[in-house]
Structure 1
Amino acid sequence: MDASVLISLLYVSHALETTRMFEWYIEEEDLLRFLRWEEIDTIFPLFEGAIEAGHISKSRFRKLGVIGVATTKVLLVVSSQLVLVGFMFQNTCKTIFESIVFVFVMHPFDVGDRCVIDDVQMIVEEMNILTTVFLRYDNEKIVYSNSTLSTKPISNFYRSPEMSDTVDFTIDVSTFVDNINALEKQIQAYIESKPKHWNPKHSLLVKEIENVDKMKLTLSVLHTINHQNYGEKNIRRSELVLELKKIFENIGIKYHVLPQEIHLTQISTPTLS
């Protein structure tokens, strides 16, 4: 028997028992206030003599055991549903609260900001209360729940100050120190000639000598912009690398591979008779 039907029967029986002092019975009209005709047609055959009498007597009702067994079943069903709903409601409220705090209090980005999340660079395309939509570098859309984002480190290029960049390169270990000094001066001259692109602060450092034949150097520069406009940042860096190539050519800085030992073996061929 369906739980809703059992609840209706129990409710009707309780109402009749409190309003009628003597023997009570359940008629079809009593059940119509809570059930449909199809359900009533299903209930009446369960009670002996109910169809002939046109009602369900108290004695037949107790005999079926509805009041004892069914009450326990109904309470279990209802209580389990209430626990489930309460748990779901609690989680939903927690998620909504975390999302509201993230969007309106933390507010780590706005629409259009370039961010890095989980080592992936993305543009914020759409912000909602519960979710945020990002556009990846290849135009793939990625949706994060705001409650999840609130637990992740987020890098925001748009809100960052002027950002640095590096160019690593290798020169021959036999390069004269004077040539390295000339390299540094020409790099400085180029950077100072582009004040709209580069901050004058920069450094050229020798990192290490590797395999006794080459020196690894790092040029550290500071953009006059952050990396929100990633295309412009890449263009400036590309121009800097090309300028380094020109300087290498002007000064005569090259990289030579160490002499390699070669072993030759003569293979004799049979002579034709």
Structure 2
Amino acid sequence: MSRQYSTNSSSVCFLDTRFHAILSTASTTLLSLSFVFSITAQEFLRSCIFLFVKHPYDIGDRAHISGPDGINQMEVEQISLLYTAFRRVIDLELIQIPNITLNTLWINNLSRSKGLMERIDIFISFDTSIADVETLCQEMENFVTGPENARDFQSDIVLRCVGLGTKDKLQLQLEVRHKSNWSIESIRATRHSKLMCALVLAMRKVPIFGPAGGVAPLGDPSNPSYNVAVTDEIAAAAREKAAKDTDAARLHPLNQGELPRASDLPVGSETLATIPESMAAEVLNAINLSEAPLRDQEDDNESANIVGSQTLHKSTSRLSSASGLSPDLQQTKSRLGRRKAGHTVPSSASMSSRQGTGLEAAGSRVQIGDFDHEAQVTR
């Protein structure tokens, strides 16, 4: 009988038509299956939100996706519920990426963008004049405003200097704004090639040279090298003339002829930028430093007085606590007055012996009896 009862009780949950029994059975079954299909259900829900709510792209759009290997230029080929197929622009490779992964990446949709801007870095010689840079900017403005290029580029361009390097080159940056986006690669490549060709022609027309300069290397047929023999007098005169010309081109020349000595000038009357370095050094050395040792000695004496008073106070406190006397009895005025400047700080041993003698004398005068502390304070 017991075996038959257990069999019937195990089949009640499946055959019973009561609502509570069915609900408990279904909840138990769903709970057990949730461990199996939880990841799939989570991916399905996130993919639906990504495609139907966020909807970052459509088929045929060109997008830049920031992945673990950098920014990839992609074109959307196919959109599915759980993944998206892209074709890479560089090598036309087909790539399939799960939508749950795309939900965590940065997506730049170029097809939905408006007119884009292109930046080009240019490195030129450091000796290039500002007038040549302005001429280059004017040539590029004439290019973008021409009738054959007005439909591709906007009329406003920017050419600015962004770096000097180690004073061996100038770094320029050219900004050109397109009137449309770069969703079609063939059109973008054609416009970019046209812009670069116009830039090369403008730099040759000005002309503007690279960091190495526009001079042919020494030994080139256009710049042959040769040696000329001159006398020592001519060489010395040439070096002296070159040194004078270089010094005269400075903002503050170093050699200004015969100038008065620095000792004859009042201190502070001339700035160091208008006199040679040797005279500037003499001006600095001519400062009167006779008062500095006196100030240092006075500071040392004041510091010694402060240290001596602090040491005396600490010794008195220790002796008072050791002998059991009131600190008010030890506050006697010194008969010697303040220590003169230049005297050494009294040592701890001499101070202890002096304080000990004073304590013995004071102890002999103390009588056994009631001690009126208030009377001693008011005295």
Q: TM-score under structure 1 normalisation?
A: 0.63
Match of 2:57 among 78, 95, 109: 109
Q: 1:234 aligns with which of 171, 177, 189?
A: 189
Higher strand share: 1
Q: Distance in 2 between matches of 1:180 and 1:102?
A: 49
Flag the 1:17–1:164 CA change in 2: closer, same or farther, 3 A: closer
State the 1:178 CA deviation. Answer: 1.8
1: CA distance, partners of 2:175 / 2:50: 35
Structure 1 equivalent of residue 228 of structure 2: none
Aligned counterparts of 2:202 and 2:98: Cα–Cα separation in 1 = 50
Q: Is the contact made by 1:173 and 1:214 (CA closer than 8 Å) also made in structure 2?
A: yes
What is the alpha-carbon distance in structure 1 between the residues aligned to residue 204 and residue 86 of structure 2? 44
Superposed CA offset, 1:135-187 (max 9, x none)? 11212211112122122211111011111101111121212222211111111
Distance 1:17 1:179, change over 3 A: closer
User: Are 2:99 and 1:129 equivalent residues in the alignment?
Assistant: no
Q: Which residue of 2 aligns with 1:246?
A: 201
**Which structure would you say has the larger Rg?**
2
1:167–1:241 contact (8 Å) kept in structure 2:
no
1:201 partnered with 2:156: yes
Q: How much does 1:84 deviate? A: 5.6
Question: In 2, distance between residues paired with 1:82 and 1:223?
Answer: 57
Q: Which has the higher contact order (CA 8 A, sep 6+)?
A: 1
Any idea what SS the aligned residue of 2:85 has? strand
2:72 aligned residue: 120
TM-score normalised over the length of structure 2:
0.46
Q: Is 1:181 matched with 2:174?
A: no
Aligned to 2:41: 93
SS at match of 1:196: coil
Percent identity reads 27
- The RMSD of aligned alpha carbons is 2.9
Number of aligned pairs? 191
Paired with 1:219 and 1:250, the residues of 2 have a C-alpha distance of: 17
Deviation at 1:127, TM superposition (A): 0.6
Write the distance in 2 (CA, Å) between the matches of 1:16 and 1:133. 54
Q: 1:110: how far off?
A: 0.2
CA contact (8 A) 2:128 2:208 kept: yes
What amino acid does structure 2 have at the position aligned with 1:127?
I
Contact 1:172 1:213 in 2 (8 A): yes
User: Structure 2: any 5+ residue segments left out of the alignment?
Assistant: 12-27, 218-379
Distance 1:91 1:173, change over 3 A: same
**Shift of the alpha carbon at 1:16?**
11
